[in-house]
Structure formats: structure tokens, C-alpha cells
Structure 1
């Protein structure tokens, strides 16, 4: 966790503050009062502010826009949050049901194919080995089975695939000489290809489909070469991945007993560590685990996990792995005491309703046992045997029989571990054993929904600004062996799975229905985030898997919803925890919480009161939540243009090329999107607008529905190739906005004629723009603009509603409606740039006493022209008589600051875009003490510290350890103690970024009070490199990660307590 502070203007009526600073700070305060022209400063501020507001208001035609909305009877209506979230959750459930039906068809086909397969027919198995596949042009005839045409497909992470076939991923050792069982399984699983293909044809939004065999091969649709060209990745053992393990077994309480007696040699100790590491890799957040070492006494491996089981989250597993590196061998082994401790803890958790309340097991890792300890088992486990025991004999031992007997007499499994060869496969056998009860009854196939993970190629996010599109969840289910054997058997054939991209869920919760500054989010049954606007899985925003945070898929809701309170970090807030628990318990409800939100890569922060609405997504462990800003967020502008009744061709409202639409919003789209190639979202919108004029047009605003329960096992009706979906409300709102704003990007002709001097020449306007509620953005380049600057602006900010200038303008309107919000690029002065000043203003429509945002209008000024106008004003005496000092004086410095304390204008050009605390920390501190700004602490619970050794770039070099110290020293010179105590945390945040623009100073805010690896990409098949594995584990110690609490249940564990004040988080326990 990293912490920074934030300060804000206590006078909420200003978006800018003009600050005049007298040089020579050693003068008396009386002398300063006499010399600083206070009244003049007020007059300068008033004059400069009025000039900017009046010019901006006329230039952007704010009044004309409001008049047009009113003339066309635009209304403002109240949103019913509960009705809205029920509708949205129902749409998500429908999509989820379609995916569930898909995976169930794979399951049934696999079980039937295995049942029909003859045991000796695998010799003629034909399959496409992903390692051997080669690409050929579409018009070239293949000369071998493994030659085929691959085409890039956006449904499959922009990978080159062939949708006519599936391909098989085999471990390296299996490719040369697969045994008869593998060949038989490969043979019957060939029959899954028609199922995969039909699934994709009936649901063209479908992503990857899988069948993972317990024998070690993975059949994946569509066919794809793996490893991909240019990738160093190799195939890994998917059987330790969560989607496979969690589907194959039910949740588990596991106690691992590690023999650390002197009988365990150094070599065997390393082998025992590796074995336990593999066991831990098979556990997920629905499981509970602890490790106890025993010699003459039995103790917890991690002292703060005393007499308990902890949730098997990545953090807790990492803590256990690191602790394993420090074990030592001594004394003799007391097996009786160790087994008794394990049974007592498991029984306690079972009796008290803690843990998973499902399967329980003991994993015994030892170099040998002198006895089978029947009396211990008779006392604790026999005859009902609620606890299974799995024994792992490390190295060669004469006590082979005793270790095996302990496992077999307690419904477990025994393995002899001589070396790391096939270690993962040997450990994996316990999964097959624990799956037996589920298979024996064969009454149902449980569905498992995974936490969020990353899918696709390792570099698919590089250069892609829709990063959430590559985040996924998967639904998987076990495939049982239903063949008849001479003796009763309970064999698991494998697991069937389907990926669901997060972007598909977000498409069904459209932003335009939520409104500006509102957002949606999804959490699972453990309170972990599936998606959220503040979910930041990447260390470097321009990278992908190589820079994923180690704990990216284990972010709790309480770590992204930061309550605005005076509590210390990690202190529980009852309102937030009630929200979290209700969503975990899949309840419907609403609540109201005041939270802190950050902008601009954690440089700015604001507080806002949110109304939260939440509802379960039935059929999954997920719950959907909505956060609507209190006040304006509960209302929306309701006005559409009925296209079919329009007397004009509505495409006329979209003339020219100076407009764009939100690229992620679904206005209209073909269900088989790959059949039609649009060059841009704008072309797609125009295409469907033209279609609305054609005879027989239907809106088709209902997405394909999931089949009814009585028909889920049959294929749904295939969609027509030209079928489509159109969001009628969004499209007609877009047309209305286009009609209202047509020509309004041009300035008022009457205004320009009347006062041209206060136009371009005075402020240097280069660009005017507007962005509407429907995702439309228009712009106009003006005199002095760089050619193409408008298009560059629109490309950069085409997701306008998600951008800071839009969000700040809407928020600020509730404070002071007659004002613009200003900003300049961060640190643009020190970088020697010629920045543009961006000014934005939210346009609200009022109806029947209610107001709602309709759009944001804005301008970009040349910084130099704006600075000249400022200097002209502040260099004169408004009272008409001589002034002792003006901003032109050598002994007076003048600044224009924004509401977060960043410098908009300064006499020193190089200070542009700096935080004022860097320019003059002493004065900044005085502004806080005088109540002009307020410091607001902001905690980043997702912050991660990277090893500084890997930061070799120039950007990294600029973040020297002393640089935050230097800035903080200048800033808080008068409060040295505060600076020193916070120094470690601020420095930690600095190292967490590679960008030289990282904010290592405090943020400021106005004091407003408005009341993955994808399946098949898990851990490795190959013979383990034991030293590399140990090094990798131990190297984790150099990084800082928050450790999950040893919660009694996966869904209601308290958050970890805060660390000692002013110290960076390290490997700590609760």
C-alpha cells in the first residue's frame, strides 16, 4: 500500500486561484500586509475570471445549447436505481446462461463420446498438435495435416486462429510417444470438434472453449499454433490452474504436516519444499490451508497463523512459500503429536462453521514413519473418516509400508517422491482422489466460476487502450467417466471450460444508462473485484502479462472503494463492510457512502457521495453493483429523435469528419461481426443509420436469449448471418444530440463581430469541442492550431465521459455552475513543452426543478497567449491610481493555481504543470494552515514496490531515492517531522512506477461537501528446475505485498489491520 496526501481549496466557488507571493520572506508580517496589494489581487482575479467565463460561455454557445434542448422539450427524469440494476443484472444473467449452456453441451458430448469409444481404438487417433501447426495462405492447398490457414480474430485476443478445428496442446514428453490411454482419449475427444464449431456458430460472441484431460493434454477451440511465433512461452500443466482444480474438486480444508526432524537431509528438505509448493499451487481462494512443521514439537510454519487455517489466497500462499525457505532439520519426529494437532484443528473448524465446510484432508510430507499410528486414526478419524490423509514419502526409506498404510486406511493416496521428475503429476493425483465422491453419485455437475485472470498472448495489451478486454473469467465443470467397469470406479475424465471476456459483461451494463461519473462493478463470493474502474492490474499501463501485479486477481472491494472518513488505513467502515457482505451473500439492496476518488494517475483526488445499488447475478457467485453520484447522478436527460419519423435524412447531422463516437459503446452491431469489416465506429454508426431508412427496418433491441430449461441440452436456433443488435435508445439519443449540436462547435458570429479583440488574439484559442451524454464528440480547429490537432485531441479523448476534463467539469458544476475547470499537462514546463490549457464546462439541463448533465463543452488555449493576458491584467492598477506593487514588480511573484494546487500560470514558464508544493513548499503549507487548501490522505491499496534493480530505463533513473526527499524537504520545511515520518511511504510509491511523471508529492482537492494465465497456461509440465523454483520463491521477499487476513470464512473475513504508522508494508501477518 502506498499513501499520499491531498489538499483542496476550502473556497468551493473557484476553479482557479490567483496567488501573489511577496519575495523576501524575512520581512515582518505587518510589512508584508502593507506591501502586498490585497485588494488589487482580488480585482485581478475578478477581472481575469470574468474574462475567461464570458469568453468561454459565448464561444462555446452554452446558452444556445440549453435553449435548443428546452425548445425540443427535453425532460429530466429520475432514475430508479433498483429497477435499473435489476434490468442490467437480468441482461448479464441471460449472457451467463448462454455460456453455461455452451459448457454443458461440451460436457455431455465428452461423456457420451468417451462412453461410445472402444478401449483399443486409439491407435488411429488423428489430432492437430499445436506445436506442429504451420500457416499457409488461404489460396494454397495444404500438403500435410498440420498446414492450414490462420486468420486474426478479435474474439480470440487478436490471435491467428482457424475456426474449423480444435488443436491439442501436449506436454513435451508426451508428443513423441503417447501411451494407449492418451491415444484413446485423443481419439474420442475428436468428436468435440463439431460441438465446438456449433457452439461458436450459435453464439458468435463466444471466446475460447476447452476440454482439459486428466491425462495431461488440452483440446482447445479454435485451432491455434502454440507457442505463438516469437514467443518464449511453452506449454505448462493446466491441471494446477484454478479453472481445472476448482471444477474437479469441491472446496477443501488442508493441513500440511512437514517433517523437519534430523532424518530429513538437506537434499530431501529441498525436495519436500518443492512438493509443498506444488500442493499450494493447486489451492484457490475457496480453500483453506496451513502448514505445520514437526520434529519433537509441532508448530505453525508462520507464527501468526496460529491454530487456524487461512484462506488460500495468493498472498497467503506466497507467505507460506517464503517461510518454507527458512526451515531447518533438528531432533526426532513426533508423528503422534503432529497428527493430533492436524485433526484437532480440522475438527474445530468443522464444528464452528469455519473454513470451507466441505472436504478436509491432511498432507503428510516426511522422509519416513516408524509406525502406521492406528490408535491416532482410531481416536480421531475412524470409522467415518471425515478427513482424508495423503502421504508423500521423500526419498528412499525402509518405512515405505507404514506411509502407504496411513494413506490407504484413511481414504487417501500415497506417493513416493524420489526427485522432481513428474512431481506435479504425482501431486495432482490427490485431486483425482478428492473428486471421487462427486463422481460416484453422478447426480450433478457443479459449475465453477473463476476469479478474474488474463488471457491471450502475453503482449496483446501493448498499444491497446482497452485493457479490460483481455481480462477474463471462465466457467468450468467436471466431466465424469460413465463407462461400466467390472469393479465400481470413479474416474474423472477431465474438465470442460469456456472463457468469458470481462468486456462482454461490461457491454451489457452500458455507461450511458449510468450517466457521467457513475460506474458499475462486479465482485465474487470472496469480495474480490471482477471489474471496477479503479481496478489496476498492471504495474506499467503500457505493458501486459510481463508487468501484471503479483496480486492483480485478488483485489478486494474495500481496496477500491475508499471511504472518506477520518479512520486510519485499513480500519473497517461499517457501511462499506455491510455493502461488501450483502454483495457476497448475493442480496439486493442500496446504501449511501461518501468516498474518495482519484484522477490523473493518483495526482488528484476528490470526494463524492455515492448511492450504491446491488443485485446478484444468478447462476454465478458474482454480484453486480452500481455507484451513482448523489444529486445529479440520480437524474438523466430524456430526449430522443425518432428516426423513422424524421423528415430529414438523419445522416445529414453527421456531415464532415470532425466528429467521433465512443468506441466501446454498442450503438448497433452485427451478431457475426467478423463478416463485416468496418474501418471505424463512425462508419459503423453511419451504416446502420442508413439502414434505418430502408423498408422493413426493425430495431432488434433485444439480444439473443438463452434457451429455456427444458431445452438447454439442445442447440439453440442459429442466428441469421445478417442479424444484428441495435440499442434504439442510444442511437436515437445520439441523433438528437447530433441535431442539437450541429454547427455549435462554431463560435457565435455575433459575438466575434462584436468583440474580436477578446477572441482569438486575447486567449489564443486553438480548439473548441463538445462531448455529449450519448458518446458524441465534435471539435473545431481555430486560428493558430497545428494541422490535425483536433483529430489528435479526438483520438486521445474519444472516450470523453471517462476522461478527467469531462469528469471534473461535471463534478465542479454542482459547486459553481458559472465556471470552467482548467488544466495543463503535468510537468509540461520542466519538459520544455509548449502546452495548451484545457478549459471545460458541464452543460446541465433543467426541467421541473431537476437538473442533469447533457454534455461538456470546452476550449484549448495557447498557454503563451493566456499568460500574456494574465500579465496584462496583473501589471496594471485597477483602482486608477499608482500601486506600490504589481505582478510586473521584481519583488512580487504571481501564480494561477487550479483547485488541486497545480500551477496553470507562473512568471517562470518552467513551473507550468508543477504541483505548487514543489515550487514553494513553505507557501503551500501556509495555504493549508490558512484554510485555503485542505490536505486529504489517499491510500493506494493496490500499490506494489518493484525491485529497483530492474529499473534501468531513463525514466526509472530519474526516480532516485533522494528525489522524493528533496521535494518533500522543500515542501514541508516548516513541518520537518511530518515529512520525515511520511518519507518512507512516499518513496515506496515512487519506486512503484517507472514513469518519471510519478506523483511523489501530495495531491490536492477542494474541500467540497455536497452531502491470467488462461486454461493451458498454468504451471509447467516439464521436469522442475528445483533451484530456479526456490530462487523464484525466495526472490519474492524483495517485494512488498499486503497479506490477507487469516479469515475464518472466504466471504466475511475482516480486512488486515493497518501497519505501524509511517512504515512501508512488508511481509507482515495479522
Structure 2
């Protein structure tokens, strides 16, 4: 994607005593967004900090959420600042001041979409903005409180550098875990690769030939700053010591862990044991990882099941399903809060479901006696024993199933709960346990919808009917010229009447840009415990729900009776492709920009009106009637 800047070019030569003001044309330059991003200190801003820029209409020139789903769009996507983020009154005011060219700053508590657009988090953000001199654009900076300061490593000791770099060697993976290196341009000479193992080897080979302080290893955005590579080396040494001194001495299987891991701002991710790296499908760039960014905004432990939709089949690898559990590392230096890393584990679902069922029972302590459940008070609230009478769930803050005491639900782990138990999900939403945010996604890609008028035969283009050919309106439309162009193309390439499968698939399966409706669910802040009786006349269902402290989980216990006779709105998290019927209201400029400082208005000429003859008008009317007949 590029940004185009244009400027009119005038002929300013002197002709005697008068100046020639003839406009010669318009000159322009295309600047790729990647080149602009290279000028921003992205990694010093942290995973959730970013820079953005807007034009006088509020449209974005630069923003991390400006990412169309299709790369081959015929026209660039114009995305408003309020469409790229979750809109609120504070952001409306920020947008207004930026359009007016006024600088300012504001600390707000805002709703933030996760990078996979499945979750909503409430987090604090600091917005700072200022106009760009010489232009009508405005530049903004967004930082969370924990990214107002960052760690700047200074590793001038060459021997210490070599010691820390040894922890990145593949020979240490078997004993200390596998290392994933964020694919960043640490040095201009570093060769990037889509294969992370190959990229790590390229980095280590380069470090053998040169040092981080060498002129051959200048940072891509600042030739005088080796901070990005020094932070990488420092993080690799710290995480390497954590693995060799702590992880390798623990029997993680006895805890029900499939893996332990740590990721840092410097770009190092280490997964232990080494075999767990085979099933590690997270992005090697921590700043692009959902678990990393959400953990930084969370105050406790973040659970996440494998992401899937209702159409997917969840297949356990090696007979296990992993639940990711992560938490941010907080460091306080001189009163400054920093979060330089995220650590976590991968839970074995089967092992932890057994623990969950025991912990979710109120009969484990004999001193409390046996508590009954349900309106009839006929069963104990025991999620392990009473699996036929009780449904026990762990649901995350986005409404996705994490654990269940029902074994047949294990294959639904990671599915939106509205697709698992729609009646119970509706009750959770209807009782304000969950809130829903609906927004429009203007950068989506949708599959083409087949027309009901399409015949069985494959056709490469639209074939006009006799009625179309006899219509003057059709011949003067853009459709006629489109058909003519396709006819010439077909004659040139000799494939006009081809009907093979490859041609048919090429025309029918190409996605197109569209607008979709997104729905995200998140916890409300009303209370942490709920006892609700879902009553639908001849059917009632009791359920209990409780927020688990310091986590993003909701514990739900409900009777197995589904109350399917209840009339509910089926809640879904998936995004239907729906084109908006009405465009969003936008206010244009109050007046036309028809003024130029180079124009001498005293030399402007007067207008000239043309008059057509009566005979010419009658001739055109007669010709039109003949064509229509």
C-alpha cells in the first residue's frame, strides 16, 4: 500500500509585462507505507504502542489496523480513524482536534480489539497528537502506561555478548528448549527468511563475522543506535538462564503442562521442552501474537483455547489439546512500571479437566456438608460425579469454551459458546454477564455470491440479450464498454468459449472486498457472582456463574435441561458478509479550495456561452427515435 502526494505545476514564465499562469499538470510521488514505518521507532513503543496519521477528512494514512484482507484491490481502502479503533466520545474529540490542526494529549480508558479481532479488552491509553508542519496532516502517538519508558541495554562487554549469544545456538535446544527469533531487521546485512530456523542461523552467522557495534550492523531505522540488537542479546541471556536453571530441573508433566515458554520485547521466544516447538503455532514476532499483547493489558492470568470456528474439526495432536496460559512480567525500576516479557505454560486439557472437576465440587470438604443444586434440590453440586445432571463450564472473557466436565464437549473447546449451548449463552448475555460490541469491518474479504440468473453453462463474460442491444441506454453504459473489452481480450487470447473447470473456478472463487459486521463479547463490571433462574413459562433452568479472580475466566454451572422452548436470539461471533445499505455520514469541507496564491485574478477572462440551432436539436431527437424503434 502506498500514499500518494500531489502538487499542481504552473507555468510562471513572464510574457512581456504579464505573467503566464497556465497550469501544466499535476506532479506526484508514491511513498510505500513500509518506508514510512521504517522511520518510526516501533520496537521502542512496545507491543501495544503505535503511531498513526490522518488527513483532513479523518482518513488514515498510517495505522497498525490499516491492513486490508485482500492485497490486489483495484482501489485503496479508505479507512476512517474511528473505524480502525473502537469508537467513543474521547476518540471523536481527538479526531476533531487533529483535523483542525490543534495539538493535544489525553489519557483515556478505552475498549481495545485484540489482534485477531476476537476479544475486547478495557485498557488505559495515552494519546498525543500534533499537526505535521507544511502539510494538512496530523500525527498521533498512542502508548499504554507501561510503555512510557523502555529498557535500553548497554552490552559493551564482548565476552558477555558471546556468552548470551551461546544460548541461541541450536545445540542448546535439546536441553534448554527451542528458540524462536522475531523476524526483525536487526542489521541491514541480515538476510530475512520465512523459515524461522533459517533466520536464526542467518543471525548467528552474521554475529560470527561482525559485532553489534560494527558499522556493518547498523540498525535499519537508526544507524547510531544498537539498542535493538543489544536488547535481543540481553533477553536471550536472561531467558536462557531461566531455562537452564529452573525449567530443565522441573518435571512439567507432573503439573499437567505440555510446555512452558517465555517471550520478550527484545524478540526472543523460548519454548521448553524442545519437542513442544513442533506444535507451537504462535507468531515468532511477540508483537504480532495475540497472547502477548493481551497479557500486557491484563492484570492476571490469561487463558486461551485453540482458536477455531463452528466449521472446523479440532484434532488433538498426540492425543492432547493445549490451553495457553500466560501472564505479563512486571518490573518496577525507580517507580517506573515496565512489562518487558510474558511467561506462560501450555496446559494439557485432559489432565486439567480432571483437576477442574475436583476443584469445581462443593463436596470436597466434608466439614461443609453436602450442598444441593437445582430447583428441586435433588443433586449435589459435584461437577465430577453428577455429569449427567450438571453442566460445568469454564468460558473465557470473549465467550469461548475453555473447559467442560462433559467429555463430548472436549472437541468443542475453543468454539464460541453460543455454538455450544445457545440457550445458556443467551441467558448469560441477557443477564448482563456479557456485553456485546458490534462494529463494521471495512477491510474484509468475502466469497462471491452466485446470481440466481446464472445458467448451467460456464461463461467468461456477461452476454447481452436482444432487448439490451436495442436499448440506447445499454450502449451508452459502462457495461457495453466492458463487454467490448472482454471481446477483444477473448479474440486476442483465443479462450472466449472455454468452459473448463479451471476457468470456471477462476471466476467463481475469487474473493472480493466487502463490509462485514463483527461481534465481540466481553465481561461487564456489574458483579462477580450470579444466581439466575432462566424461566420460559413451562420450562425453567437454574444456573450459577462466577468470575474467577485474577483470570479472564467465568465458571458456569447449569442444569442439563436445555429449555429449548425458549425464544432466543441466536448469538454468534462469526462475521456475516453484509454490505452496508447506507454509507457512514461524513461532513465535507465548508467551501471549495479554488484559491491559489500564484493566480492573478485580475487577468481572469469571462465565460462564454454556446447556443445550439433548432435544426441540430431536431436532428438528434429524430436519430434517437429511429434507434429505439
**TM bin (shorter chain):** 0.5 to 0.7
Partner of residue 633 from structure 1, selected from 147, 166, 173? 147
Partner of residue 554 from structure 1, selected from 78, 82, 90? 78
| Separation of aligned partners in 2, 1:805 and 1:750 | 24
Are 1:854 and 2:355 counterparts? Answer: no
Change (3 A) 1:670 1:1049: farther
Change (3 A) 1:951 1:866: farther
Change (3 A) 1:579 1:999: closer
Q: Which residue number in structure 2 is paired with residue 774 of structure 1?
A: 266
Shift of 1:866: 2.8
Aligned counterparts, 1:573-612, within 5 A: 573=89, 575-599=90-114, 601-612=116-127
So what's the TM-score if we normalise by structure 1? 0.38
Question: Does the 8 Å contact 2:53/2:60 carry over to 1?
Answer: yes
Shift of 1:555: 1.9
Deviations 1:889-944 (A, max 9, x none): 1111111111222110121224312222333344334445666x241434236377
Q: Which residue number in structure 2 is paired with residue 836 of structure 1?
A: 322
Q: Which residue number in structure 2 is paired with residue 545 of structure 1?
A: 72
Question: Does the 8 Å contact 1:842/1:856 carry over to 2?
Answer: yes
Q: Which residue number in structure 1 is paired with residue 5 of structure 2?
A: 475
| Separation of aligned partners in 2, 1:649 and 1:832 | 42
| Separation of aligned partners in 1, 2:336 and 2:253 | 36
Partner of residue 402 from structure 2, selected from 879, 904, 914? 904
Are 1:744 and 2:242 counterparts? Answer: yes
| Separation of aligned partners in 2, 1:930 and 1:848 | 44
Structure 2, unaligned runs of 5 or more: 371-379, 453-510, 528-549, 551-577, 593-629
Partner SS for 1:1003: strand
| Separation of aligned partners in 1, 2:61 and 2:210 | 37
Change (3 A) 1:951 1:582: farther
Q: Which residue number in structure 2 is paired with residue 1042 of structure 1?
A: 583
Structure 1, unaligned runs of 5 or more: 1-470, 565-572, 705-724, 953-992, 1011-1036, 1052-1070
Shift of 1:556: 1.9
Q: Which residue number in structure 2 is paired with residue 682 of structure 1?
A: 200
Partner of residue 668 from structure 1, selected from 187, 191, 197? 187
Shift of 1:850: 3.4
Q: Which has the higher strand share?
A: 2
Shift of 1:772: 0.5
Partner of residue 655 from structure 1, selected from 165, 169, 184? 169
Q: Which has the higher helix share?
A: 1
Q: Which residue number in structure 1 is paired with residue 562 of structure 2?
A: none
So what's the TM-score if we normalise by structure 2? 0.61
Aligned counterparts, 1:46-57, within 5 A: none
| Separation of aligned partners in 2, 1:607 and 1:727 | 34
Return the structure number with greater relative CO, CA threshold 8 A, min gap 6: 1
Partner SS for 2:449: helix
Shift of 1:842: 0.8
Q: Which residue number in structure 2 is paired with residue 527 of structure 1?
A: 58
Question: Does the 8 Å contact 2:107/2:124 carry over to 1?
Answer: yes
Q: Which residue number in structure 2 is paired with residue 728 of structure 1?
A: 226
Shift of 1:557: 1.6
| Separation of aligned partners in 2, 1:482 and 1:618 | 26
Shift of 1:502: 0.6
Shift of 1:692: 4.6
| Separation of aligned partners in 1, 2:341 and 2:243 | 13
| Separation of aligned partners in 2, 1:587 and 1:1042 | 28
Deviations 1:1004-1029 (A, max 9, x none): 2354999xxxxxxxxxxxxxxxxxxx
Q: Which residue number in structure 2 is paired with residue 90 of structure 1?
A: none
Change (3 A) 1:749 1:994: same
Shift of 1:485: 9.1
Question: Does the 8 Å contact 1:524/1:530 carry over to 2?
Answer: yes
Query: What's the C-alpha RMSD, in Å, of the aligned pairs?
Result: 4.3
| Separation of aligned partners in 2, 1:505 and 1:830 | 39
Question: Does the 8 Å contact 2:447/2:512 carry over to 1?
Answer: no
Change (3 A) 1:729 1:1041: farther
| Separation of aligned partners in 2, 1:508 and 1:876 | 58
Change (3 A) 1:876 1:690: same
| Separation of aligned partners in 2, 1:693 and 1:945 | 45
| Separation of aligned partners in 2, 1:604 and 1:951 | 35
Change (3 A) 1:622 1:694: closer
Deviations 1:832-886 (A, max 9, x none): 4224211111111122343210101122233333334434555794214785342
